[in-house]
Amino acid sequence: MKTKTILLCAVVSVFIIGCEKPSVQNPATDLGFSDPFISDVIGVNEKHLSPEHWIKPGMSKTIMSGAEIQIFNAKNITADPTLYDISTVPDTLTQIELTARIRSISKVPKYPRIYTDETPVNDADFLRYETALNLESVQDINPVKFALTVRRTSIRTYPTHDLLFSEDAGDRDIERFQESVLFPGDALAVLHTSTDGQWALVQSFNYIAWVPLVDIAIGAREQVLDYGKTDKFLVITGDKVETVFNPEVPDVSELQLDMGIKLPLSRPKELQHNLYGQNPYLSHMVLLPVRKADGSLDFKHALIQRKEDVHVGYLPFTQENIIKQSFKFLGERYGWGHRFNGRDCTGFVAEIYKSFGIQLPRNSGDQGRSEIGINTRYEKDAPRADKIERLERGQPGDLIYIPGHVMMLLGQSDGQSFVIHDVHGLGYMKQDGTLYKGTLNGVSVTPVAPLQSNKDYSYLDRASTIKTVK
C-alpha cells in the first residue's frame, strides 16, 4: 500500500474578465412583491441556477449499469494508490509500516502557522502535537483493529482539535489541520491511538488521518466489513437527510446523513409495526452502527421518512441525474476539508458520484492524476482553443482540473461552457482595468472561459486534465 501526505484542494479565487455592473433581474411574482436576482458573476442569469435549464433530451440514458460500476470501482482500487480496499489491510503492521503510515499524514508544516487569535504556533506547540502521536508505543508488531463510523466527524492532521491557520490568512475559512470527514457507516482500519487515548489513526477507502475515538465503534473485522455487503440498501440522495426523532435511542435520533451514504435496509418481523413507539410503515427502516459505552460496535434500527430525498439502491448513472444531484448543493457554504458542515471542491464532486456507487480519490490532485475514466491531458503550453473545443463537445459531469481545484461541466449556454463547483474566492477585472475582489464561498454556477487565476493566466490556461467518468 502506498502512503503519502495528501494535500487538500487549494483555495481558489475566480477571476472574471467582464462587466463591472452587477446584474439585476426581477422575476415575475404573484405575491405583490419581488426578490430580485442580483449577481456580481459575469454571464450568470437566474435561468442558469435551475437544473432544468441544463437537462436536455437523451440525458436519461444510463452511462454505466450497477454491475459495470462495480467492475469499474474494483479496477480503479487495484490501479490507484490513493484508493484502498479495507478488506486487504493486514491484521498487523510492522514498526516500519506503521510509522510510515503515521508520517504519511502527520508532519510539522514547513510554513508558519497561527491560532485563531493570531498567536504564532511555536516549536513547543508542535512538540506537543508530535508527542501526541504516541510514536514511543509503536512495537515491532502492531495489531490492526476495525471500526465503523457512527456520526459525521472531522479527521485531522494531528490528534488535536486545535485550529491552525496560515500566517497570512485573512479569514478563518481554511484550517490547516482539517483533512476531511468520515460519514456514518464508513468502514475503517484502526492503526494506532494517540498518547491520551482519545484519538485513532484510521484508514478509510480514500484517506488516512486522525479521528476522535468517540465517533467510531470498534468491532470484529468480519462484523465491520460485512456491514456494507448487502443488495438491500438505501442511498441518501439529498444534500442532507435526518433520521426520524425517537426518544429511546439518542444515537440514531435525528442523525444527519449526507449525500452518497449507503445504509442497509432492515425490517425485522418483530419491529414491523412498532419501532421506538412509532409505526414505521411511513418510513424506511435502516440499520445504523452505534458505539457502546466501552467503545465497541453495536447496531440499532432507525427510521428515515419516505418523503425524504433517498433512493432504494443507487441512483441510475445518467447525465440527467448528475445535473440534478449537483444542484442539490447549490449555495451550500464552502467548507475546507468539509468544515462548516459542508464540503470542498472534491468533496462536492465525490459525493455526487457516490450517489451512483462510484468511488473517487479524496483530493483534486489525486483525482486529476488518476487514470480513472477517460482523460484528456494537456501540457502547460497547450493551446487554449483545444480546451475550449474539448468542453464544447463535453458531457455534463465532465471534470476540469486545475492546480488545487476541480469543476464539473454543466453544458453550453449563451455561447459558452458553464460549470458548477464549490469555490472560495471571487475576482474579476473591471472595465477600468482594476481587480474586483469578492467572494463566492459556496457551490456556485459560473462560466469557464472568463475565469482567471490572475491577470496573466486563465483557468483554461492552467487546466491539466478534463475527465469523463465512465
Instruction: Give me the mean pLDDT over the 55-76 stretch.
Output: 97
Residue range 113-130, pLDDT digits in tens: 999 999 999 999 999 999
Residue range 148-177, pLDDT digits in tens: 999 999 999 999 999 999 999 989 999 999
Instruction: Write down the architecture of domain 84-226 according to CATH.
Output: Roll (2.30)
What totals of helices (H) and strands (E) does the chain contain, helices first? 10, 30
Residue range 305-339, pLDDT digits in tens: 999 999 999 999 999 999 999 999 999 999 999 99
Q: Is the pLDDT of residue 447 over 60?
A: yes
Range 233-312 classified under CATH 3.30.1420: no
H or E segment and range at residue 241: strand 240-242
CA angle 238, 468, 65 (to 5 degrees): 60
The phi and psi torsions of 53 (rounded to 5 degrees) equal: -65, -30
Q: Is the pLDDT of residue 432 over 90?
A: no
Q: Is the pLDDT of residue 140 over 50?
A: yes
What span, in angstroms and rounded, lies between the C-alpha atoms of 179 and 169?
Answer: 18
Instruction: Give me the mean pLDDT over the 269-291 stretch.
Output: 98
Q: Is the pLDDT of residue 23 over 60?
A: no
* pLDDT of the residue at 34: 83
Residues of the chain within CATH 3.90.1720.10 domain(s) are 13-66+315-468
- Contact between 184 and 288 (Cβ < 8 Å): yes
* pLDDT of the residue at 16: 45
Q: Is the pLDDT of residue 39 over 80?
A: yes
In the predicted model, what is the mean pLDDT of the chain?
Answer: 92
Fold annotation for 13-66+315-468: endopeptidase fold (from Nostoc punctiforme) (3.90.1720)
Residue, of 429 and 151, whose pLDDT is higher: 151
Q: Is the pLDDT of residue 255 over 90?
A: yes
DSSP string, 105-120: T----SS-EE-TT-PB
Helices 319-327, 345-354: crossing angle, 10 deg rounding: 130
Residues of the chain within CATH 2.30.30.40 domain(s) are 84-226
- Contact between 384 and 458 (Cβ < 8 Å): yes
* pLDDT of the residue at 383: 94
* pLDDT of the residue at 2: 42
- Contact between 200 and 189 (Cβ < 8 Å): no
Q: Is the pLDDT of residue 435 over 50?
A: yes
Q: Is the pLDDT of residue 144 over 70?
A: yes
Q: Which of 353, 428, 392, 323 is nearest to 48 (CA)?
A: 323
Residue range 354-391, pLDDT digits in tens: 999 999 999 999 999 999 999 999 998 999 999 999 99
